[in-house]
Every structure is written in structure tokens, then in C-alpha cells.
């Protein structure tokens, strides 16, 4: 009878962990859509889409609070250990990064509102569009790695953060050139700079999610390490 009860509790706990993982992925899906919509509003100059992104941020916040509360309940009632504790801890960190990606999407949407009222450049923000596609792909792949607990994929996504940083620096140099060539474009360029900064931050948060995945799967904290050092730590080639 004790064994049966223990098995029941264990299965119930496993169901709770599976449910919370599914909710994180649902939150991730919403946040990915927020990034996509914010960029669509920016590129198309669509104020209605921008306002929708801003309004939907409340849903992202509510999901974070709800998942956070469930994690705290699990810790208090189940007292998870080892891998289960790392999973709950990783989820708490992941939803924080997802919420912040949502915030950056709102910032882009606000810049899109500002830019929708200004003359559009001939290049139609193609630099920002390319960077937006890149970071959105990073986020999608990071969520896929989370769903699969795939450390190799997490490492591949993390490596892309350097490329995003390089794109960001290149865009800033280009935007500075625009301002020097035409001082009438200063206001528009500043909004574009803030949008690029938000995209760079989204890449950073996607990278953070990958670090959380590595921790919850491998039990190794690779924050603040270069990607090369992180790979060595995972493979046990260096002493942490």
C-alpha cells in the first residue's frame, strides 16, 4: 500500500513537471509571436500591429506570474532534489528571460509607432529586418532545445550570439553614417538605434535560455564563460 501511494505521488509530481514545461513552451510561443509582430509593425509602419503588441504584453506578464507561482508551490510542497530541482530552477530563470524578451518587443513596438509617423527610408529598415529574423530564429531554436533538453542545440544557438553582436555593431556604424549625411534623419535614426538595441538584447536573452538548458540538463553553470570554455566544461575537459 505504501509503495502504491508512493508511486501515485511520484506520477502526480511528474505530471506537474510536465505541465509546467508545457506552459513555459506556450509562453515562449507567445513571446516569439510578440517579436514577430513587433518587427512586422516596424517594417510595415503598421501602428495597429504595434498597439496590439503593447496590449498583449499583459498576457506575457500574467503567464510569467502564474508559472512562477506554480514553481514556488512545487518547491514548497514537493521539495524536489537533484535534477528535478534544477528543472524548476531553470524554468524560473527561463520565464524571466522570456518576460524580458516580451518587454523588448514592446520597446520595438513603441519605436514602430514613432517611426510610422515619419518618412520611410528607401531601404525600408532592411538591416533591422535581417537582425530581427536572426534573433527570432535564435529564440525559436532555444525553445526547441528546451523542449528536447538538447544541450548540443543549446550550444549552437549560444554561438550565434556573437553574430548578433556583430550585426548590431554594423548597424550602429551604418546609422551613424546616415545621421552625418542627413541631419534631418536624426530622430528617425535614434528610434532605429533603440530598436537595434532591443534586438541585440533579445539575442542575449535567447543565449541566457540556452545557458539555463545546459544547467538543468548537465548540472553545470556556464554563465559568464566563453562558448569555447562552456563546451570544455560540459565535456569535462576543464575543472570549474
Give 66-79 as a DSSP string.
Answer: HHHHHHHHHHHHH-
The pTM of the full predicted model, rounded to 2 decimals, is 0.89
Q: Which three cell numbers stand for residue 25?
A: 513552451
pLDDT tens sequence across 142-176: 999 999 999 999 999 999 999 999 999 999 999 89
Residues of the chain with pLDDT under 50: 1-2, 5, 8, 239-240
Domain residue spans of the chain:
2-234
Fold of the 2-234 domain: Methane Monooxygenase Hydroxylase; Chain G, domain 1 (1.20.58)
CB contact at 8 A, 240 and 220: yes
pLDDT value, residue 131 = 96
pLDDT value, residue 2 = 39
Amino acid at each position: 500500500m505504501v509503495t502504491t501511494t508512493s508511486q501515485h505521488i511520484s506520477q502526480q509530481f511528474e505530471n506537474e513537471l510536465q505541465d509546467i514545461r508545457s506552459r513555459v513552451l506556450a509562453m515562449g510561443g507567445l513571446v516569439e509571436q510578440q517579436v514577430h509582430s513587433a518587427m512586422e509593425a516596424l517594417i510595415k509602419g503598421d501602428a495597429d500591429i504595434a498597439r496590439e503588441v503593447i496590449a498583449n504584453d499583459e498576457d506575457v506578464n500574467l503567464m510569467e506570474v502564474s508559472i512562477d507561482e506554480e514553481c514556488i508551490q512545487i518547491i514548497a510542497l514537493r521539495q524536489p532534489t537533484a535534477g528535478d530541482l534544477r528543472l524548476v530552477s531553470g524554468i524560473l530563470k527561463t520565464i524571466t528571460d522570456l518576460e524580458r524578451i516580451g518587454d523588448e518587443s514592446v520597446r520595438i513596438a513603441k519605436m514602430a509607432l514613432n517611426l510610422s509617423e515619419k518618412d520611410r527610408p528607401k531601404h525600408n529598415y532592411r538591416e533591422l529586418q535581417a537582425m530581427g529574423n536572426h534573433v527570432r530564429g535564435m529564440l525559436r531554436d532555444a525553445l526547441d532545445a528546451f523542449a528536447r533538453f538538447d544541450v548540443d542545440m543549446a550550444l549552437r544557438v549560444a554561438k550565434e550570439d556573437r553574430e548578433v553582436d556583430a550585426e548590431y555593431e554594423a548597424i550602429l556604424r551604418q546609422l551613424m553614417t546616415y545621421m552625418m549625411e542627413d541631419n534631418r534623419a536624426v530622430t528617425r535614426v535614434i528610434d532605429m538605434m533603440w530598436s537595434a538595441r532591443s534586438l541585440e538584447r533579445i539575442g542575449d536573452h535567447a543565449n541566457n535560455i540556452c545557458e539555463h538548458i545546459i544547467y538543468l540538463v548537465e548540472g553545470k553553470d556556464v554563465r559568464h564563460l566563453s562558448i569555447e570554455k562552456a563546451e570544455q566544461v560540459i565535456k569535462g575537459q576543464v575543472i570549474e
